[in-house]
Amino acid sequence: MAKIMIDPITRIEGHLRVEVEVAGGKVVNAWTSGQMFRGIELILQGRDPRDAPLFCQRT
């Protein structure tokens, strides 16, 4: 079974990694994962709600 890994995926925003398992010319399993964690939700906790849209625009 062959495994193909593509990292980075380009022409998108963010850092995406895709892994694909191929058997007999067919995809039998696949995984995608975002390769970055920033924690915007954690950062938003306890802040003035009016600031929230300005934070969330930057994701």
Partner 1 sequence: MNQESDFYQRLSEKGISRRDFMKYCGFLTATMGLSSSFVPRVAEVFAAPKQRPPVIWLHFGECTGCSEAILRTMYPWIDELVLEILSIEYHETIFAAAGRQMEDNLHAAVKKYAGKYICIVEGAIATKYDGAYGKVAGRTFLEIAQDVCPKAAAVIAIGACAAYGGIQAAAPNPGGYKGVGDALGIKPVNIPGCPYNPVNLVGTIVNYLLLGKLPELDDIGRPLFAYGQTIHDQCPRRGHYENDEFVEEFGSKEAKLGYCLYKLGCKGPDTYNNCPIAKFNDGTSWPIEAGHPCIGCSEPGFWDKMTPFFGQKS
Which residues in this chain contact partner 1 in the complex, by CB under 8 A?
5-15, 35-40, 42-43, 47-48, 50-51, 54-55, 58-59
Torsion sign across C-alpha atoms 24, 25, 26, 28 = positive
- Give the span between the Cα atoms of 41 and 43, in whole angstroms: 5
Amino acid identity, residue 22?
V
Q: How far is the CB of 49 from partner 1 (least distance, A)?
A: 9
Q: How far is the CB of 15 from partner 1 (least distance, A)?
A: 5
Of 31 and 51, which has the nearer Cβ to partner 1?
51
